[in-house]
Amino acid sequence: MSIYESGKNMTSLYYALIKAVQVYDLNNDVVQRAAKKFFSYINSLLNIYSRIILVRYRDYIFFNKQRLRFEIDGYASLQFIHDKLKKLNIKSLIFSSGIDKNEIVTFTSIFKEEKETFLKQFSEKKFNHINIEFSTTEEELSDYLHDGERIKRTYFRALKTTKDLMHNLGTGQPVDIRSSKRVIYNLIDALFQDEFGLLALTTLKNFDEYTYNHSLNVGILSLTLGQRIGLDKKNLVKLGISGILHDIGKVIIPKALIYKSQRLTDEEWETLKQHSYYGVKQILKAYGLDELGLISMIVAYEHHWNYDGSGYPAHRQNQKPILFSKIVRICDSYDAMTTPRTYVPIPYLPHLALKVLWKRRNTFFDPILVKVFTQLLGQYPIGSCLELSNGEIGLVIRQNQSNSDLPIIKIVINKDEEKIDGIIIDLSVQNGLKIVRPIYLQKYGINPASYFV
């Protein structure tokens, strides 16, 4: 069994024990059975590892330096333990060989308490095989999440590959298939390392190269949503390629039409809609009829089909899009709404774009996928700018998994409306500081994406 699966199983069993201790007396059969299962499992792990270390770093949990991902399966257990460690200000929870069931039960009985009670009882009771380390600063564990430069390099390499791929298809030059696959694998690795770090880079919006930026951002957003619903790596590769290639048919459309600043005529709109057909032809030319090519062709053709059977290209109302097409439909719409273009120079604020998705669930978008996507990005997605009750303005740089309305922000404008390199604040633990409203940071001459590159 992999380290990841071991960690996932352990947190699930410990969550069951904590919930049992919260409800029943320690000698109750329910508690004792849950304790026996957890002890048996952790004891088997300690035959493999000298110690078991659960670490909370930022909004992640690591099991022996392996990050445990927040997926639908096991989400509740991982979220609960993360939040409990955060409230108790615990950085590391360490189990070592020699631990017995009684020590586990005793520790769990105080682990469920509030911070002051927990600290008092932990110091009074003797735990020989359970140790804890407390947090000091959020940035003290850089060895767990490597330098963000690695993720930035991955993003910009992927952007170059996307640009080369679309350019070569548009000009009839040979396409490097292996390079596009390698990019997706690198993006998946970056996603597993730090999904919010990768999501931050989707705030990059290049006005002059909209098609390339948009295609890559849709690929990344699709990968992130796919991971959250539990797709395996093989299917993530298919989804990522499909996301990047969803608009590939636009290489055939005249650029003057794509970047036209005035409203399209009916004839021009019909021409633009042909990109779904052209996409199939371009992908067939590059990838042939292998599995990856077929999936990408289907997504290119279906990504403007709506959940209620409407949309284009024309199809029977009961003809439903595949899962990957429904994912790309959401991510394509979100990135398009939040990106300035010649005909929409002022984009939607991120939280408003999410509201549009939510309003159109059951009509344009799959309601379950919209719900997961909204939970993933949070009430105020990364890159949002928030006016605060003290007059300062903060940029959302990370999410709190359990407090989507209280993200982690960096102060970028002070009370005197001056640009500053301010402090980082976790709004979920900052008493008294409230969010007044989201704003456009561009009115201060600041591009939010500049803080992530």
Note whether 3 and 45 are within 8 A (CB): no
- Cα 93 to Cα 53, 60, 75, 200, 211: the distances in Å are 6, 14, 19, 29, 46
pTM for this prediction: 0.76
Q: Tens of pLDDT along 56-111?
A: 876 778 888 787 876 666 667 888 888 888 888 888 999 998 999 999 999 999 98
List, as one string, the DSSP characters of 165-208: HHHHHHHT----HHHHHHHHHHHHHHHHH-HHHHHHGGG---GG
451 backbone φψ class: left, alpha, beta (φ>0; ψ -120 to 50): alpha
Token pair of 251, please?
């290489």
Q: Around Cβ 116, how many Cβ atoms within 10 Å?
A: 8
Q: Tens of pLDDT along 206-264?
A: 766 777 889 999 999 999 999 999 999 999 999 999 999 999 999 888 888 887 778 88
User: How far is Cα 145 from Cα 193, in angstroms, rounded to an integer?
Assistant: 7
- For position 148, what pLDDT does the model report? 64
Question: Range(s) for CATH 1.10.3210.10 in the chain?
Answer: 148-377
Q: Tens of pLDDT along 52-68?
A: 999 887 677 888 878 78
Sheet strand arrangement including 51-57? 66-68, 60-63, 51-57, 90-96, 130-134
Architecture of domain 148-377: Orthogonal Bundle (1.10)
Q: Tens of pLDDT along 355-392?
A: 999 999 999 999 999 999 999 999 999 999 999 999 99
